[in-house]
Structures are given as structure tokens and as C-alpha cells.
A and B are shown apart, each in its own frame.
Chain A
């Protein structure tokens, strides 16, 4: 396990080096993603031109919630982005064969190929957003709070990455796997809003089944000092369960996989 994680970081390091080789790509990716996020923020702003709260949350609080989710998505992008499209990136091109010939768990090799220029832009933007909104909400920024934000941010990224990995196995059978992963991934958007606004079904879905609420909603309550925010502390357990399932599912899929072509 430790050896696998070490190799994963070696691979990831190589991917990041590769990314930095393409400075222009990197920059364009960052800027365009920041623009994309700003548009989403403008939407939230427009909604608040018509109402002063959503499920009891005001504009600033909602921005905070949004920022908390964005930070975790950025971490997912940075660490696990390669599972997003394994059908196209690895299997169709036959690259998966070379990965299977390495003396390393193939999942490690795949994850290690993650490289996304958008992640860095996301991380900076979301961090600014979180700190800025917290200050506006009269929360004192302490070192402990910063560490907590990073801790839940990274854990959230690991949880989302686990889900992405589970659904990435569709890539073994369909070259359109990115669309499957994308649909599931989009569910995280539900957790960009307070769960109070949803009906029971969606609440259960995003807290129990696909616990994206553990990534954004509960940590946000935690930063705001709400007692319900204590639920956020189960995030490590959620992460372990999700990844336990992800690894099992992935290995199962791998055994079913039949290498394409001759």
C-alpha cells in the first residue's frame, strides 16, 4: 500500500512536470476555468436579486458553500482527474496494455496520469472565496480554521475522486465512459446548495448514498460554528468506505476486462 502510494506520487510528479512543459496550455486552462466559475457565481448572484435567502441561507453563506465544494472539486481534478475518461485515454489507444505490464497496480498507474491545468486555478479561486466569505460573515480566521479548511478540502476531493473511480469502470466497456462519469460527477452540483431546499429523496441521496453533502454542506456548517457541523468529522470514514468500494469495484472490472484488438 505505502509502496503504491509512493509510486503514485512519482507518476503524478511526472504528470505535473509534463503539464508544466506546456505553459500556454496550462495558463489558458486556468483562465478559462476561472471564467467558467465566475459565470456560475453570477448566476447565484442573479438568484439573490430576486430573493434574500435560499433555504435560510443568505448570499454570502451560499458563496461560502460554493467555494467549499469548488476546493474539493479542484483537489479531485488535481489528484484523480485521469479516471474521468479511461476509455478514450487508455483503453481505446491500447495504452492500457503497457500499464498492465507494469509491476504496479494499474489503478495507481491510471490515477498517476492525472494532469489538469484547471486545478491550480480552482484551488486559488476557491480558497480566496472561502476566506473572503468567512471574513464577511464575521468568523475569525485562525490557523486552526485554515488547517480545517485544507483538511476537509482534501478529504472532500478524495471522496469525489473515489466516486469518479467507481464509475470510471464503465470505460472498460464503453468508449463513452466520460459521459457516464460526467453524469454522476454532476450530482456534486446538488451539494453546492443547502440540503434544506431539497425533498427527502435528494437529501438521502446526497448525504447517505452519494455523500457529497459531507464534502460541502457539513464542513461549511462546521466553519460557521453550527452544531450540525460536527457531522463533518465523519468525512475520513466516508472517504475510507468510498475508496474501499472503489478499489474492489475497479479490481473486479479489471478482471473482466478483455484487452482490445490484436
Chain B
């Protein structure tokens, strides 16, 4: 049986509609108007125990709203969520015992106290047995390099140090399911690596189910086995990461500044393995699959028709992939 079962989940918000200007605000005061906005629209999925799932989408796609419903913070408008046999927003406290959660920049640690005090309070709250607490603390301190941080006040920690402590606090009570909402936002590469490694280690050892939302594809790349992609409140992809990569992966966009163009590059290179997205008199934007071609190949091909002055190469970001997917421009190689 799946550890998380989500069926036809819907969440609509009531948004107050105000007209501009002072008059509009005054009107609203006496005669408020609301319109409904659907944040999550008929979402269904099952997650098995021990899965590492990346839940991705643009800002405002409905990720956080979904996570909030999974954790029981929000009540669904309709549809159902069952987490390890419990309905989270009905049995909130029971459900809280079996889950852990990190929400971006909100901290669950006690801001003015040393980190270790927060850990002790968490131990009391979750009634973690002494032995288990010691074992976890020792292990987490080692992997996340917390030794020197434990006696410091949380407010004096850097963002990366704080997030490492936050992650440790989240896993301290051996939760069965952990929700991580943007856990690596704003962190440097070393800390990101550290946190990713930690998540993988714990997942392997304890079969902890992890649901991760992020804008950093690398998080997904390194941690997740499965991807759920949400856009405008609906799931548009749900499947293995490897398959996702086959479909969208390894795209590179190269922009060239050119002169003395003799022919339309778009027309001339139609038979080739790359795609010209944009073409003007002095510039070219080309997308190609890095598994099949290199930048040198592209340069070879287009230099027949023009003189290259400058170029700029970048990997296609998640935002662009998302946009493309939304526009229905998915190209399956």
C-alpha cells in the first residue's frame, strides 16, 4: 500500500477583488467582492514508502499549496489525502509525529537559544527515546558537520549553518515522511552537496520517504528517483527521473552574434540535428542536444553561412523546460 495517497485533490482560494485607488478600497470595505482561484486542480498520485520524489513547478504552480495539504496545514476544498493511513488535517497531531518538514526560510528552531536547546525541546516534544536521540545526534553531527554549531545561538548562524541544523532537527525523531520545501534555496554548493548527501544517506538507512520541492534541477538530479511536475495546479508529468531526462535532458542553448550572413540559417540547416529558435540579421539562437552534438559541430555548420563574432552557451534551465512543456513544445529525441 502506498504511504501517501492523493486523490482528486482540489484547493481553491477566495481572493478579494479590490478596485484601484482609495475609493476602491472603501467600496471593498462595505461591499467586498471575492473571486475564486484554483491553486491545485484535481491532483492525484501515490507515493510508496522510501521513495525520493521531486515535486517541481514554477512559482505559483501549486507546489506549496499541495505540500501544505499533505502536511495538514491546509484543508482541501475537495478530494482526499491519506498519509500512512491518516487524514492529515483531521488527525493533525498524530500525523505530525510521523512527519518532518522544512519550509524554506521559516525556522522550527528557537531563534535566541543555542541549537542544542532546540534539539532537546524537539526530543521532549516527539518523546524521542534517549538512546535513539543520542544515536541520531551523533550521526547527524558527523554528516552535517554540526559540532561547532551546537552551542551557538541560532540567530548567529549563517544561512547554510542554519539550514544544516534545520535538516538535522527535521530528521531527529525518525519521521517516516519528510517534506522539504526549497531546502537548498540560497545556499552555496558545498552546503547543498552536504544536505543532498544527508538526505540520500538517511533515505537508504531508514527508508524515509522524501518529497522535495526545489527550483534547483541539481537537487532533483542528485537526490530524486521520481519527478512530479505541476503547472497551473495540474500535474503534467509524473514518472521516473531517468525517463524525464530522456525527454527533456541535456539541452543546450547557444547564442551567437554574427555578421555578413549570406543565407537564412534556419532554412539551410533544416536537415541538421539542431534547432534554430531565433534568427535575426546579427544573431542566432540555437538549441541542441548535448548528447549528440558539441558546440564545435554547431560552429562548423553555421560558419558556412556567416561570420561568428561572439557566442554564449548555457544549459536549458528548469524554467525554460517548464515553459516549453506548458506551451506544448516538448521535443522527444
State which of B60, B92, B153 has its C-beta within 8 Å of the C-beta of A262.
Answer: B60
Establish whether residues B68 and A101, one from each chain, have CB atoms under 8 Å apart when the complex forms. no
B94 CB → nearest A CB, Å: 8
State which of A11, A18, A262 has its C-beta within 8 Å of the C-beta of B64.
Answer: A262
Establish whether residues A101 and B96, one from each chain, have CB atoms under 8 Å apart when the complex forms. yes
B107 CB → nearest A CB, Å: 7
Q: Check A21/B112 contact, CB under 8 A, given A103-B93, A103-B97.
A: yes
By a CB distance below 8 angstroms, the chain A residues around B311 are none
- Tell me if B121 counts as interface (CB < 8 A to partner A): yes
A17 to B153, CA, bound (A): 12
By a CB distance below 8 angstroms, the chain A residues around B39 are 262
Establish whether residues B97 and A259, one from each chain, have CB atoms under 8 Å apart when the complex forms. no
- Tell me if B326 counts as interface (CB < 8 A to partner A): no
- Tell me if A102 counts as interface (CB < 8 A to partner B): yes
Establish whether residues A101 and B108, one from each chain, have CB atoms under 8 Å apart when the complex forms. yes
- Tell me if B223 counts as interface (CB < 8 A to partner A): no
- Tell me if A23 counts as interface (CB < 8 A to partner B): no
B35-75 to A contact mask, C-beta < 8 Å, 1/0: 00001000000000000000000001000110010011111
By a CB distance below 8 angstroms, the chain A residues around B75 are 258
Establish whether residues A103 and B96, one from each chain, have CB atoms under 8 Å apart when the complex forms. yes
Within 8 A of B (CB), among A95-145: 95, 97-98, 100-105
Nearest B residue to A97 by beta-carbon distance?
A: B73
Nearest B residue to A22 by beta-carbon distance?
A: B112
Establish whether residues B96 and A11, one from each chain, have CB atoms under 8 Å apart when the complex forms. no
A102 to B172, CA, bound (A): 13
Within 8 A of B (CB), among A246-262: 258-259, 262
By a CB distance below 8 angstroms, the chain B residues around A21 are 112-113, 153
Nearest B residue to A115 by beta-carbon distance?
A: B112
Nearest B residue to A98 by beta-carbon distance?
A: B108
State which of A7, A17, A94, A102 has its C-beta within 8 Å of the C-beta of B113.
Answer: A17
Establish whether residues B113 and A104, one from each chain, have CB atoms under 8 Å apart when the complex forms. no
By a CB distance below 8 angstroms, the chain A residues around B267 are none
Q: Check A102/B125 contact, CB under 8 A, given A14-B117, A94-B106, A262-B65.
A: yes
A187 to B179, CA, bound (A): 45
- Tell me if A53 counts as interface (CB < 8 A to partner B): no
A100 to B124, CA, bound (A): 16
A10 to B117, CA, bound (A): 10
By a CB distance below 8 angstroms, the chain B residues around A103 are 93-94, 96-97, 125-126
Establish whether residues A17 and B117, one from each chain, have CB atoms under 8 Å apart when the complex forms. yes
- Tell me if B274 counts as interface (CB < 8 A to partner A): no
By a CB distance below 8 angstroms, the chain B residues around A262 are 39, 60, 64-65
Q: Check A101/B65 contact, CB under 8 A, given A14-B113, A262-B60.
A: no
Q: Check A7/B96 contact, CB under 8 A, given A17-B117, A100-B73.
A: no
B35 CB → nearest A CB, Å: 16
A7 CB → nearest B CB, Å: 6
- Tell me if B305 counts as interface (CB < 8 A to partner A): no
A49 to B113, CA, bound (A): 50
Q: Check A10/B107 contact, CB under 8 A, given A101-B73, A259-B74.
A: no
Within 8 A of A (CB), among B75-125: 75, 92-94, 96-97, 99, 101, 103, 106-108, 110, 112-113, 117, 121, 124-125
Establish whether residues B110 and A10, one from each chain, have CB atoms under 8 Å apart when the complex forms. no
A14 to B113, CA, bound (A): 8
By a CB distance below 8 angstroms, the chain A residues around B99 are 101
B328 CB → nearest A CB, Å: 26
Establish whether residues A101 and B71, one from each chain, have CB atoms under 8 Å apart when the complex forms. yes
A214 to B108, CA, bound (A): 39
A259 to B92, CA, bound (A): 14
By a CB distance below 8 angstroms, the chain B residues around A18 are 110, 112-113
Nearest B residue to A6 by beta-carbon distance?
A: B124
Nearest A residue to B110 by beta-carbon distance?
A: A14
Nearest B residue to A3 by beta-carbon distance?
A: B127
B109 CB → nearest A CB, Å: 9
> Which of B68, B74, B121 has most chain A Cβ within 10 Å?
B121
By a CB distance below 8 angstroms, the chain B residues around A104 are 93, 125
A261 CB → nearest B CB, Å: 9
By a CB distance below 8 angstroms, the chain A residues around B68 are 97, 259
Establish whether residues A101 and B101, one from each chain, have CB atoms under 8 Å apart when the complex forms. yes
Establish whether residues A10 and B121, one from each chain, have CB atoms under 8 Å apart when the complex forms. yes
Establish whether residues B125 and A7, one from each chain, have CB atoms under 8 Å apart when the complex forms. yes
By a CB distance below 8 angstroms, the chain A residues around B101 are 101
Q: Which residues of A contact B (CB under 8 A)?
A: 6-7, 10-11, 14, 17-18, 21-22, 94-95, 97-98, 100-105, 258-259, 262
Closest 7 CB pairs of A and B: A18-B112, A103-B96, A103-B97, A98-B108, A262-B64, A259-B73, A10-B124
Extra 10 A-B pairs, beta carbons < 8 Å, given A18-B112, A21-B153: A11-B121, A14-B121, A97-B106, A98-B107, A101-B108, A103-B93, A103-B96, A104-B93, A104-B125, A262-B65
Q: Which residues of B contact A (CB under 8 A)?
A: 39, 60, 64-65, 68, 71-75, 92-94, 96-97, 99, 101, 103, 106-108, 110, 112-113, 117, 121, 124-126, 153
